[in-house]
Amino acid sequence: MMRQYELVEKVLAYDPNADEALLNKAYIYGYKKHGTQKRASGDPYFSHPIEVAAILADLKLDATVVATGLLHDTIEDTDATREEIDEIFGNEIGALVQGLTKISNLKLISRETAQSENLKKLFFAISKDIRVLLVKLADRLHNMRTINFVKPEKRIRIAQETMDIYAPLAGRMGIQFFREELEDICFRILNVDARHTILNRLQAMHEDEEDLLANIVDILNKKLKDAGVSARVIGREKRPYSIFRKMERQSISLEKISDIFAFRIITKNEDDCYRALGLVHTEWPMVPERFKDFISIPKSNDYRSIHTTIIGPTRKRIELQIRTEEMHEVNEYGIASHALYKENIYTNNPKTGAMPGDETEKPGSVPVSEESSAFKWLSQIIESLEDGDAPEQFFEHTKLELFADQAFCFTPKGRLIALPKHATPIDFAYAVHTDIGNTCVGCKINGITSRLRSRLNNGDEVEIITSKGSLPQAIWENFVLTGKAKSAIRRASREERKKQYAHLGKEMLIRIFKKLKIKYSDDKLTAALSVLAFKSIDDLLVAIARNEVRLKQVAIAVAPTLLDSKDIDFLNQQTHFELGASSKTNAIPIRGVSQNLGFIRFSKKYPPIAGERIVGIIKKGEGIIIYPIDADELEIFEDQPDLWVDLVWDLDEGDKNWFTAPIEITLLNEVGALARISTLIADQGCNIWNSFMLSKETDFHHLYMEVEVRDIHHFNILKNSLQTLSIIDDIKRVAGRKFGEITL
């Protein structure tokens, strides 16, 4: 166990002005608090905080961070309190230690939910101070170094969690040595046979090529020196897990991996990087499609380097990484070496709660600088927390973001946008700005009008077409990849759903008030809010629509002195949704912006189309289901008039929503018949959402299709156009089906 003076000397060696008294005080306090506690290995528990502090000192972090490492388990594992830490060490260290403390009251929920909740808490703490992440990674690294003392079943669970979250998180933050060591330890636990096989093969390759590798370093050093390029060349060997992952991803054997042994040319400045590149490319042939310039286009974790593969002096493939000393430091130590931290700027801007470059500039958002892509990525992760994602959703989205390969795309003005591989234009739009994503209605990829479902590739130029007043479609969430896009779509859906609820609640209230001869006004509702225990009118109207408050309660609270006994009797007799006669003049208007608004939703079996006559049916536990007036299913509700709610469309001419129309077509069995039908549907500006054959006969086929149309007029034009085809015997609108079964 490292002694007190050894740790202090370690910090003073790189920071002579470090607060020595703080380090000594933290060491003594932690030592006393952990007392006689033991680790699974039998060592004193305090040996763990000391090693965490030593790892942080290896990163050359300041005394505050190192002291936090010494104290990071005190609140969680001893009788220390946040108030006591604040009093002795100050609010700054108190907040850091609190941010590293797991949530303790999670005993009654699943392990997965507890894991998700603790991850959310960690990210919230990181959003306030990035140093929390550095201490957490150091904590996890030392725990993994000593994991052999943990029970096997727990060891596997911790290793999997580390492989899923902490190792890729370290990589995303650019701390490569953390990532590589964490991955290697987890690989040893989770796949011991594969790791052993790779190590044996590497040992054999070492014995065969040891002299060759040293020779290549000498040749490269001589060439660079002769050309006047000041640089050093070092060899690098891939870690076993990196080799295994590449073998899996590319389905190749170890012998076919060309970059097991790579060489780094580290120069003094950026110009020398390109001079060195020119030198090796003119001296030796380059392997096609094996060149990447991450200096010009850095990775999302701020990694910068030139990668190239040449056929080297021994006719052997050699991978070269060319970078400056400064780039090398950032590539290895990531955010721990970032310029922001060398200037001791760790937390949010005290005035705005954000750093320059943060588009939202909201209090509590992660610090973002214009020079750090890693911080911008972290900022987007924090946004999904602020949007109120469920813990499990946040956990899954974070894992997807951590493991995603990247594609680099451009705006028409040349701005670089880094996205997960196979991301969509909608992901691109939200990456540019949340408002761009919310109002997105179309896109052009490399100048060609394309679908919003298209998958983007490296180098694509993407132009997003927006329309003021447009809203994101709930269905987008099914195919976008980024957590930011998913969170924004869900948030917009929640807000739109709340507007729908409020609109319906107001219509219901106005009708009841009219029968009671009470004049509706927002002022009257405002005055009654405190009695009804609601904060806003919208909250009250939403509760009315959701049947969370009875109309009788609202009427009495608004006009207690105006109601007589007959009014009270009338209110007592009302079911929540008895809204009077079903006539068009009394119908409740709805906007067709979404086909699934939660409480109010379209029938899946009989989906309505904008412009046609519609009616709502109240179903217990489901809310109001909207049907076309001629839907067969309505027959079963004919003797239950109290369940009917009359509805009308409330659509502006500018609304451009798609509605699904299931149809069945009887067509002649002719060559090219299906192609002719598909072409005509496309020519009419419609889209085929689903299609399959119901049955085949000698002369006729029976085809089921779901076509997307703008409104009932659009559908009728399409239907009439299809009927003009000689190959079509019959066409009719039907109930929705699934392949092999009727849709419920």
| DSSP codes of every residue in 703-719 | EEEEEEESSHHHHHHHH
Structural domains in the chain (count): 4
Where is pLDDT greater, at 309 or 593? 309
Q: Which is nearest to 657 in space by CA: 606, 610, 719, 691?
A: 610
Residues 6+ apart with CB under 8 A from 278: none
Given the residues 15, 58, 77, 161, select the one marked as catalytic: 77
Query: Facing residues of 624 across strands?
Result: 600, 618
**Would you tell me how many other CB atoms lie within 10 Å of the CB of residue 333?**
20
Q: Is the pLDDT of residue 469 over 80?
A: no
Q: Are 355 and 394 in contact (CB under 8 A)?
A: no
Q: 318 and 270 in one domain?
A: yes
Q: 300 and 259 in one domain?
A: yes
Mean of the pLDDT values across residues 141-167? Answer: 90
Q: Is the pLDDT of residue 476 over 90?
A: no
Taking only the tens place, the pLDDT of each residue in 218-230 is 888 898 999 999 9
Q: Residue 729: pLDDT band by 50, 70, 90 thresholds?
A: confident
CA distance 732 to 707: 12
- Residue 388 belongs to a domain: no
- Residue 678 belongs to a domain: yes
Q: Are 549 and 571 in contact (CB under 8 A)?
A: no
Give the model's pLDDT for residue 143.
Answer: 94
Whichever domain contains 304, its CATH number is 3.30.460.10
Q: 714 and 605 in one domain?
A: no
Where is pLDDT greater, at 387 or 550? 550
Q: Is the pLDDT of residue 347 over 50?
A: no
Q: How far is CA 160 from CA 37, 43, 153, 154, 494, in A?
A: 27, 25, 11, 10, 34
Q: Which is nearest to 593 in space by CA: 726, 743, 441?
A: 441
- Residue 471 belongs to a domain: no
Mean of the pLDDT values across residues 361-365? Answer: 32
Q: Which domain holds residue 717?
A: 659-742
Report how many helices (DSSP H) and strands (DSSP E) the chain contains, helices first: 28, 21
* DSSP 8-state symbol, 156: H
Where is pLDDT greater, at 510 or 445? 445
Sign of CA dihedral 595, 599, 605, 609: negative
Taking only the tens place, the pLDDT of each residue in 15-33 is 899 999 999 999 999 999 9
Q: Is the pLDDT of residue 7 over 60?
A: yes
Q: Are 46 and 34 in contact (CB under 8 A)?
A: yes
Whichever domain contains 704, its CATH number is 3.30.70.260
- Residue 561 belongs to a domain: no
Give the model's pLDDT for residue 72.
Answer: 93
Taking only the tens place, the pLDDT of each residue in 62-91 is 899 999 999 999 999 999 999 999 999 999
Q: Which is nearest to 1 in space by CA: 61, 41, 59?
A: 41
Sheet holding 462-466, edge to edge: 448-450, 440-445, 462-466
Residue ranges with strand state E in 279-326: 292-293, 306-311, 317-324
Structure tokens given for 210: 């040891």
Give the model's pLDDT for residue 9.
Answer: 93
Q: 122 and 228 in one domain?
A: no
- Residue 487 belongs to a domain: no
- Residue 538 belongs to a domain: no
Q: 185 and 207 in one domain?
A: no
- Residue 371 belongs to a domain: no
Q: 120 and 22 in one domain?
A: yes
Three-state secondary-structure class, residue 455: coil
Q: 323 and 230 in one domain?
A: yes
Residues 6+ apart with CB under 8 A from 522: 537
Structure tokens given for 86: 């604040």
Q: 234 and 184 in one domain?
A: no
Whichever domain contains 135, its CATH number is 1.10.3210.10
Q: Residue 418: pLDDT band by 50, 70, 90 thresholds?
A: confident
Q: What is the 3-state secondary structure (H, E, C) of 619-673?
A: ECCCEEEEEECCCHHHHHHCCCHHHEEEEEECCCCCCCCCEEEEEEEEEECCCCH
Q: Which is nearest to 603 in space by CA: 630, 638, 642, 581?
A: 630
**Would you tell me how many other CB atoms lie within 10 Å of the CB of residue 305?**
23
Q: Residue 284: pLDDT band by 50, 70, 90 thresholds?
A: confident
Where is pLDDT greater, at 199 or 574? 199
Give the model's pLDDT for residue 571.
Answer: 62
Give the model's pLDDT for residue 633.
Answer: 87
CA distance 527 to 257: 74
Domain termination site, one of 168, 192, 216: 192
Mean of the pLDDT values across residues 294-322? Answer: 85
Give the model's pLDDT for residue 93.
Answer: 93
Give the model's pLDDT for residue 359.
Answer: 40
Q: Are 53 and 30 in contact (CB under 8 A)?
A: no
Q: Residue 540: pLDDT band by 50, 70, 90 thresholds?
A: confident
Give the model's pLDDT for residue 140.
Answer: 93
- The amino acid present at 419, given as its one-letter code, is L
Give the model's pLDDT for residue 547.
Answer: 67
How many Å separate Cα 261 from the centre of its chain?
35
Q: 694 and 604 in one domain?
A: no
Q: 240 and 188 in one domain?
A: no
Give the model's pLDDT for residue 184.
Answer: 93
Active site residue 76: yes
Q: 62 and 187 in one domain?
A: yes
Domain termination site, one of 283, 315, 336: 336
CA distance 484 to 492: 12
Give the model's pLDDT for residue 116.
Answer: 66
Angle at 375 between CA 342 and CA 144, to 5 degrees: 80
Give the model's pLDDT for residue 575.
Answer: 43
Active site residue 77: yes
* DSSP 8-state symbol, 404: -
CA distance 537 to 528: 9
Q: How far is CA 722 from CA 125, 664, 671, 680, 697, in A?
A: 60, 12, 17, 7, 21
The pTM of the full predicted model, rounded to 2 decimals, is 0.57
Highest mean pLDDT among 18-32, 110-124, 313-327, 348-362: 18-32
Q: Residue 485: pLDDT band by 50, 70, 90 thresholds?
A: confident
Using only C-alpha atoms, the chain has a radius of gyration, in whole angstroms, of 33
Matching residue, tokens 């701020």: 302
Q: Are 440 and 451 in contact (CB under 8 A)?
A: no
Lowest mean pLDDT among 120-124, 610-614, 696-700: 120-124
Given the residues 15, 19, 58, 76, select the one marked as catalytic: 76
Q: Kindly give the interhelix angle for 111-128 and 91-99, rounded to the nearest 10 degrees.
A: 150
Q: 582 and 642 in one domain?
A: yes
- Residue 643 belongs to a domain: yes
Q: Are 615 and 647 in contact (CB under 8 A)?
A: yes
Give the model's pLDDT for residue 106.
Answer: 43
Where is pLDDT greater, at 598 or 688? 688
- Please give the mean pLDDT across all residues of the chain: 79
Give the model's pLDDT for residue 50.
Answer: 95
Domain termination site, one of 192, 219, 242: 192
